[in-house]
Amino acid sequence: MEVGAVRLTLEAVLRVSRGCPVVLSEDPGFRARVEASRAFLGDLLREGTEVYGVNTGYGDCCTVAIPHELLLELPRQLTRYHNCGLGRFLDPEETLAVLLARLNSLAQGYSAVRFELLEALAALINHRILPRIPAEGSVGASGDLTPLSYVAAVLMGEGEALRDGAVVPARAALEEAGLPVLELAPKEGLALMNGTAVMTGLACLAYQRAEHLSRLACRLTALSVACIQGNREHFHPRLSQLKPHAGQGEAAAWIYADLGGGDAGALRLQDRYSLRCAPHVIGVLRDALPWIRRDLENELNSANDNPLFDGEARLMLHGGHFYGGHVAFAMDGLKVAVANLADLMDRQLALLVDTRYNNGLPGNLSGAQAARAPINHGLKAVQIGSSAWAAEALKLTMPASVFSRSTEAHNQDKVSLGTIAARDCLRVLELTGQVAAALVLATLQGLELRRRQGVPALERLSAEALAALAEMGAGFPFLEEDRPLDTTLRALCADLQACRWSLYP
């Protein structure tokens, strides 16, 4: 993956997070821009110019002058005092996304860092030396200071890193890979830490999972309609033309196509809302995705530390690009739209297991023979679990971005909380994926029960929907006698999070 002279996409972040190496661009203009920014900072320091975070203290201490003999120690001190993060450690996929986001921001060429620092970040990605980054401790302005301090620490040979699945001292990991331990130059500690890389990296992964989940929700709606002998005409193209939200129409078209294998006739004139209105629910997410992509890719391809140095124009710019408001709002919006999918799919599952609404399927979709039916309970507990996961997802939709806290002696008196919003969104996606896994089991079981009843439900599905059904159900034997389903559910969740299932083109 080339970095430095091209605009990165969300897909680029996903590829790197899954193992694609990076290479710094050989474009001469890219390197010249980086070096010009660094040289301009050097000129300013030689002229005795006051430069925030280079020859001044940080944050509220910006009025404190740093003696010349201490300038080289300042970046190291910044890193060390911010090593106070808590919570879980980011997983390898998340960490790689963060490293790429930070590398690409510095590669814009306005952060006054040495080219060697970009090479060192790229080397961490390519050698899979992954800083142990605690998830908690960022308010999202002045950037992701605390979590990113662990990236800076590893480059300096301090702290711990994950390599080949083992936690090792950072210095040992660098030495084993033949990589140098860096002495951070003035501004480089601040450049590494004072940006939005953690929230942006996590948000890029969240976007990909949400996009995949929106497609899966359409397919599972079609399978649920087939199970319950519902009405395909709720998704008719003419209906979408009369309420022309693009995402809603897209969702309806996919469901309509999935149900295009035949029509055995619906049992009700109008199905319940969790089926009939599914495109309207899923469509909100589909219509949000384009503007979320726009904002995340703008953030990903921005210089977002402070101050910035345009070496060609000879401009030193003090600002607030570390503020993650766009990411925060995108993640707050995304988690609401995704949680609505959790609620939708949980309601679809509730219809399938309930004999009052499932049009002749056995209670809880149990496959037990009559003599064994009294002691078998099918998907009863799975539906309870689904309700719990949906409730937790809905509970987490409180927007993080409105809970700004004044901190750091009222210097950071308005903050984005973008990293909290991104973490919340990933958790909502995880919970919604669990609901989707439960609905996958229910549709697999329900359609097989229909086949055994002689009801033409599978015949209603298109060849593409049937192929997807086989792909999702590869590891799920028909549930005749009750058995533990946690391992199956975990496997389905892993497939879903990795976006392994083939969905719509």
Nearest to 92 by CA among 62, 127, 64, 45: 127
Catalytic residues: 52
Two tokens, residue 123: 């080397």
Longest Cα–Cα distance in the chain: 91
- Say if residues 431 and 392 touch (Cβ distance below 8 Å): yes
DSSP state of 504: -
- Render the burial of 460-497: b for 16+ CB within 10 Å, e for the rest: bbbebbbebbeebbeebeebeebeebeebbeebbebbb
How far is 170 from 279, CA to CA, in rounded Å?
49
Strand partners, 131: 161
- Asked if 110 and 98 count as a contact pair (C-beta separation under 8 A), the reply is no
- The answer to whether residues 3 and 25 touch, using CB atoms and an 8 Å cutoff, is yes
The first and second tokens of residue 206, run together, are 């969240």
- Rg for the chain, CA atoms, rounded: 26
Q: Which amino acid is at 387?
A: S
Type of residue at 466:
L
Q: Contact at 8 Å (CB) between 109 and 223?
A: no
Count CB neighbours of 453 within 10 A: 12
Cα separation, 266 vs 247, in Å, equals: 25
Q: 330, 296 in Cβ contact below 8 A?
A: yes
In DSSP terms, which residues pair with 169 in a beta bridge?
160
Q: Which of 452, 449, 480, 489 is nearest to 375 (CA)?
A: 480
The phi, psi pair for 324, rounded to 5°, reads: -100, 40
Pull the structure tokens for residue 104: 């690409």
Cα–Cα distances in angstroms (integers) from residue 332 to residues 290, 389, 425, in the given order? 15, 19, 7
Six-digit token pair at 390? 């949906």
Of 267, 446, 226, the closest CA to residue 353 belongs to 446
- Indicate the residue type of 473: G
Integer Cα distance of 258 and 331 in angstroms:
30
Contacts of 284 (CB under 8 A, 6+ apart): 247, 248, 337, 340
